[in-house]
Amino acid sequence: MTLELFSQYLLAGVTYGIIYAIVGIGFNIIYNTTGIINFAQGEFVMLGGMTAISLTQWLPLPLAIGAAVVVVMLIGALVEILFIRWLDRPSVLRMIIITIGISILIREAALHIWGDGVRSLPYFAGNEITTIQVLGARVSPQVLWVIGVCAVMVLALSLFFKYTLQGKKMQACAANRMAATLCGISTKNMVTLSFMLSAGIGALAGCVMSPITYTQYDIGTGLAIKGFTVAILGGLGSSMAAVTAGLLLGLIEAFSVSVVPLAFQDAIAITLLLAILFFRPHGLFGSKDAAGLKEF
Amino acid sequence: MLRIKNLEAGYGKLRVLKRISLHVNPGEIVTLIGANGAGKTTLLSTITGLVRATAGEIVLKGQNIETLKAEKIVFRGCSLVPEGRQVFATMSVRENLVLGSYVQHRQGKEQLREGIEYIYDLFPVLRERKAQLAGTLSGGEQQMLAMGRALMAKPALIMLDEPSTGLAPLVVKNIFRIIERLREEGNTVLLIEQNAKAALKVADRGYVLETGKIILEGQADELLANRDVQRAYLGRDVKEN
Ligand SMILES: Nc1ncnc2c1ncn2[C@@H]1O[C@H](COP(=O)(O)OP(=O)(O)OP(=O)(O)O)[C@@H](O)[C@H]1O
Ligand SMILES: [Mg+2]
């Protein structure tokens, strides 16, 4: 393998990996405050891309993206308020079925609104043939946008949870729902907030990746599987571990192209997911004790 | 301070509390004793709004609170230290205390710092461990943290659900000393204890709860001297100690 090819794979791996990480973190945020695995997580990414694409008809690109993120956050809140909020201590199975139902609903609505065509946002800088030299490889500047924006999101999220009162309140809900209530924290509002936050980061990721990966009404499913794999791989709940796991999955996929045919690329994530669920259900980095505390 | 009238509550079809009436005056320590399953925890949960009252009234500082949500009741000045040390295990001691002061979050940084210093004063061991994760504290330290966190809300009424359970005698003594100190500083305390003797010794008044009904009430020293109470709740204490 030449150095150039190596760098090419590396960058592709990091690009996809960090997107998976964002989807995985979306899973984690909701899981932490509610114990729910939200299988509609991928749909937020799709909605972000699609909404922004539609809005570029009327708005300049940055505004369209900003507005799309806000719209998808509101959709996230709406989903929580309509489908989740009124449930009183639902079982895990019921929650899984509900979130899968929500994802189908959103996908069908998207098919209805946008059709089944493949769309994409324009490149943020230059066009599809613009390239820049990175580590000896020629890549589109959009790759750097994806990596940069996602990295900033990860950083912002960890600062949010560490230093802001809202972040601490969400963490408190995750740690002990009853104690949080007794401190005067509205756990229901925190759950809504966690849906908004997950929807928001998913939507932004959906926008920055759109020029290179394209957006279609059904991309959510695949992303949800990848993101779920990453979340599980990192040991559900830990955002930093999800980043590591995301990059790992992205790199494995990228480099596997040189070994197995492209068509099998998606099978890798599934294989990995099954392998983890069989052999290390608490994730690569999670502890066994923590896994024992989880509901399934 | 707190006045409860004909309160009923339960879980689904199960009625646990049956027409409970009691009151706590400002500056008092009132204790509630009763066997396992009598409904003590349920009573405190109902006062804090974690369990809905199905009938009756709960009046705190002259205002009815029985229909308020749990997170709103804390803002009215009534904090619960729940059974079994419910600390935020994944967060540091200091973060736990800061969250405890959430109902006071409009206060300045200076007051927050003073509040935390006051708790560190009450429980010096928490100062030593302020950066440690709450989940890694010992049982006694977690209990102190849970009490400290509730006090951070500067509640008019603090309710303690079996604060001494599972703790070594020396730590229990310390906890009771702090409860006394709270009274000296003018706080109002509603205390639930298995350790009826110790509880009645610090308390001003007491209630005895049996299968969801209040069967006896009176001054703490009267209850201590009461034959029925001695047989049912203190006899066991004597044997255990
Ligand atoms: N969440 C719940 N769901 C159903 N029943 C409950 C629940 N919590 C308590 N109970 C029942 O209500 C009754 C009273 O329980 P409660 O916890 O109030 O007792 P307690 O006086 O605090 O006992 P202990 O001294 O053991 O803490 C018990 O019969 C118990 O089984
Ligand atoms: Mg109890």
pLDDT at site A296:
35
Examine residue B47 and state whether it is found in any structural domain, yes or no: yes
- Render pLDDT for A262-289 as a digit per residue (tens, 0 to 9): 778 778 878 888 888 788 777 766 655 4
Q: Which tokens in the block code for residue A36?
A: 């729910």
> Domain boundary at B102, B137, B154, which?
B154
> A237-259, pLDDT tens digit by residue?
777 888 988 999 999 888 888 88
Between A246 and A128, the higher pLDDT residue: A246
Q: Tell me the whole-structure pTM to 2 decimals.
A: 0.86
- CA pair distance A161, A170, nearest whole angstrom: 8
pLDDT score for B169: 87
What's the total number of domains in chain A?
1
Our CA-based measurement puts residue A184 at a distance from the nearest CA of chain B, in whole angstroms, of 4
Structure letter (DSSP) for residue B230:
I
Candidates B71, B86, B146; nearest CB to A185: B71
Looking at the structure, tell me whether residues B173 and B67 fall in a common domain: yes
Where does a domain end: B154, B181, B204?
A: B154
Q: How far is CA A191 from CA A29, A179, A245, A265, B164, in A?
A: 9, 15, 25, 35, 34
pLDDT at B105 (0 to 100):
84
Pocket test of ligand 1: the residue of B8, B40, B43, B46 to mutate, having most ligand atoms within 8 Å of its CB, is B40
Confidence band, pLDDT 50/70/90 cuts, at residue A190:
very high
Domain that holds residue A184: 15-115+138-220
In this predicted structure, the answer to whether residue B74 has a pLDDT above a threshold of 50 is yes
Range in A103-112, A193-202, B69-78, B168-177 the model is least confident about: B168-177
**Looking at residue B155, what DSSP letter applies?**
-
pLDDT of residue B241: 43
Q: Is B189 in the same domain as B234?
A: yes
Range with the poorest average pLDDT among A9-13, A147-151, A223-227, A260-264: A260-264
The verdict on B19 and B127 lying in the same domain is: no
- Would you call B194 helix, strand, or coil by DSSP? coil
Neighbours of B239 (CB within 10 A): 7
| Structural domain total, chain B | 2
Q: What residues does B57 pair with on adjacent strands?
A: B5
pLDDT value of residue A291: 44
> Residue-wise over B146-172: b if at least 16 C-beta within 10 A, else e?
bbbbbbbbbbbbbbbbbbbbebeeebb
The percent of residues above 70 in pLDDT, for chain B, comes to 97
Average pLDDT, chain A: 88
Confidence (pLDDT) at B239: 45
The least confident of A86-90, A175-179, A185-189, B92-96 is A86-90
One domain, residues B69 and B169? yes
Residues B111 and B185 in one domain: no
Q: Is the pLDDT of residue A77 over 90?
A: yes
> Using CA atoms, how far apart are residues A56 and A69, in angstroms rounded to an integer?
13
- Which among B184, B178, B164, B129 has a CA at the least distance from the CA of B237? B164
Span A117-139, average pLDDT? 85
Cα distance from A187 to chain B (closest Cα, Å)?
A: 8
DSSP output for A160-179: HHHH-HHHHHHHHHHH-HHH
Q: What is the DSSP string of B4-64?
A: EEEEEEEETTEEEEEEEEEEE-TT-EEEEEE-TTSSHHHHHHHHHTSS-EEEEEEEETTEE
The beta-carbon neighbor of B91 closest among A175, A178, A181 is A175
Residue B48 has its nearest CB partner, among A165, A172, A182, at A182
Written in H, E and C, the secondary structure of B122-134 is HCHHHHHCCCCEH
Mutate to test the interface with A, among B50, B102, B157 (most CBs of A within 10 A): B102
Q: Choose among A180, A211, A93: nearest CA to B90.
A: A180
Q: Is residue A177 part of a domain?
A: yes
Q: For residue range A50-71, what is the model confidence (pLDDT) as tens digits? A: 999 999 999 999 999 999 999 9
User: With an 8 Å Cβ cutoff, are B99 and A185 in contact?
Assistant: yes
What CATH number should be reported for the domain holding residue B206?
Answer: 3.40.50.300
Within-domain flag for B82: no
- How close is the nearest chain A Cα to the Cα of B70, in Å? 6
Q: What is the pLDDT of residue A293?
A: 38
Domain check: are B65 and B163 in the same one?
yes
What pLDDT sits at residue A78?
95
Q: For residues B241 and A12, what is the distance between their CA atoms, to the nearest angstrom?
A: 69
A253 burial (CB, 10 Å; 0-12 / 13-18 / 19+) is buried
Residue nearest to atom 9 of ligand 1 (CA): B42
* Interface contact flag, A184 B74, Cβ < 8 Å: yes
Q: Are residues B225 and B201 in the same domain?
A: yes
Calculate what percentage of chain A has a pLDDT beyond 70.
Answer: 96
Nearest residue by C-alpha to atom 1 in ligand 1? B11
What are the helix (H) ranges across B54-168? Answer: 70-75, 93-100, 109-122, 124-128, 139-152
**Residue A43 falls inside a structural domain:** yes
For residue B210, what are the domain limits? 2-77+156-239
**3-state secondary structure (DSSP) of residue A215:** strand
With 90 as the cut, is the pLDDT of residue B164 above it?
no
End position of a domain, from candidates B101, B125, B154: B154
Report whether A253 contacts A271 (CB < 8 A): no
Same domain, B210 and B95: no
Reported as a single tens digit per residue, the pLDDT across B184-210 is: 888 899 999 888 888 999 999 999 999
pLDDT at A73: 97
Residue B101 phi, psi (nearest 5): -90, 10
Nearest CA to ligand 1 atom 30: B37
**What is the radius of gyration, based on Cα positions, of chain A?**
19
Say how far apart CA A222 and CA A42 lie, in whole Å.
Answer: 7
Average pLDDT over residues A120-140: 85
